[in-house]
Amino acid sequence: MRAQALTDLSAASFLNPSEGMIALQQCDACRSLQWPADFACRECQNPDWHRHWIRPRGAIYSVTRIHHPLPAGEAPYLVALVNLTEGPRIAARLQAAEMPMIGAQVEAVDAPGASAIHMRLCNPLGAADSDYAGDTSGKESLL
């Protein structure tokens, strides 16, 4: 399709959190995959594209625990940037008891009624391939 209105590119239409699925925007011309959606392919500027649905998996690129009380009652929660197996990087909610390590492998979970894709650690106890991602309480923690 070709996006005519801003609403054609709204995040909600690229998300199916209940079934743990997201749609990458795939260029009809050069086949590039991108996230978030744009009016044209960021590689070749072709305006025609389709949704390429995946169940995301990947590695944590960065992560933060949000403490803002916006909206009230929701915080704290984790948001991660995840390098997908397919290439693009996405922002996702992360379900984890502890602050995870950067580099840790994560996968989608079904999150009925959620407004964003939720992910979890593939191996909650497993080591990542890089340093501790950061917390929270230790004065000299390696963020």
What residues line the site for another protein (CB under 8 A)?
6, 9-12, 15, 34-38, 42, 61-68, 70, 74, 77, 79, 81, 88-89, 91-93, 99, 102, 115-117, 130-131, 133-136, 139-143
Output the smallest distance, CB 114 to another protein, in A.
Answer: 10
Which residue, 48 or 74, is less far from another protein as judged by CB?
74
Which residue, 21 or 37, is less far from another protein as judged by CB?
37
Amino acid at site 6: L
CA 98/CA 120 separation, integer angstroms: 11
Per-residue DSSP letters for 21-76?
EEEEEEETTT--EESS--SS-TTT---BEEEEEE--EEEEEEEEEE---SSTTT-S
Output the smallest distance, CB 2 to another protein, in A.
Answer: 16
CA 26/CA 50 separation, integer angstroms: 5
Which residue, 37 or 55, is less far from another protein as judged by CB?
37
3-state secondary structure of 11: helix
Total residues belonging to the chain: 143
Output the smallest distance, CB 35 to another protein, in A.
Answer: 7
Output the smallest distance, CB 129 to another protein, in A.
Answer: 13
